[in-house]
Amino acid sequence: MIFLRYETFRGYLRMYPVTALIVAINIVMFIITMLNGGSEDGYTLYRFGAFLQTEDDPFGLDEPWRYVTAIFLHAGFMHLFYNLISLIIFAPPLERLLGHVRYGLFFIVTGVVGNLFSALFHHGEVLSVGASGAIYGVYGAFLFLSVFGKHRLDEGSRKTVYSILIFGLIYSFLVPTINIWAHVGGGIAGFVLYGWFERKQLRR
């Protein structure tokens, strides 16, 4: 099972520095928002980089950097907690597979695509934050491996990937505050992008 973590804290930092950095940034930004109005306050989240769609700017292109900054913000402690647990457990094997630089690029791109899907399928004024799109990008990468690289994943890991995706998508549809389209977009982006990395590696 590749998703079991046995590393010491110091070993984790050494082996997965990009994942550790992403986790640290999210924690720091959560503390900053808590000290400046609250992590569940819409205006505070907007000030610190939440992704915003409006009737006049449905794709958030007036301030495009929000596609990235929103990935590192969370609305409430439980939102942060569940996303960080997912990152800490599931992201390290992908960082090892892709390498630190490509993994960092992968994380940002899938998070941005998640926000893009949100913009495409939501209408009106929508404020969204969270690393969920990028986390579903990680799941999408492992779904690609589960389908096209079964010899590289043990059965337990494949079953874990399928279970998490099925449960996650059902839960996303049931809870109205969850941005389901960010999850779908991030997952599709992760599946496609990891497949592209694999084909590029094979050509080499």
pLDDT tens across 180-190, in order? Answer: 999 999 999 99
**Statement: residue 176 has pLDDT above 80:** no
Inter-residue contact 52 to 60 (CB < 8 Å): yes
User: How far separated are the first and last CA of the chain, in Å rounded?
Assistant: 29
DSSP SS3 for 52: strand
pLDDT the model gives residue 8: 94
Q: What is the pLDDT of residues 141-170, one digit of tens each?
A: 999 999 988 778 888 999 999 999 999 888
Q: Catalytic residue, from 39, 79, 128, 183: name it.
A: 183
- What pLDDT was estimated at residue 204? 63
Q: What gap in Å lies between CA 110 and CA 99, rounded to an integer?
A: 16
CATH code of the domain occupying 9-203: 1.20.1540.10
Q: Which range (106-120, 149-163, 185-199) has the least confidence?
A: 149-163
For the chain, domain boundaries? 9-203
Asked if residue 123 has pLDDT above 90, the reply is: no
Structure tokens at 2: 């590749």
Q: Residue 183 catalytic? A: yes
pLDDT, one tens digit per residue, over 28-50 is 999 999 999 999 999 999 999 99
Lowest mean pLDDT, pick from 47-61, 91-105, 172-186: 172-186
**Mean pLDDT, rounded, of the chain:** 93
Catalytic residue (choose from 86, 118, 132, 146): 132
Q: Which residue has the tokens 């990395």?
A: 197
Give the pLDDT mean for 113-141. Answer: 94
Residue 124: its pLDDT value, please? 83
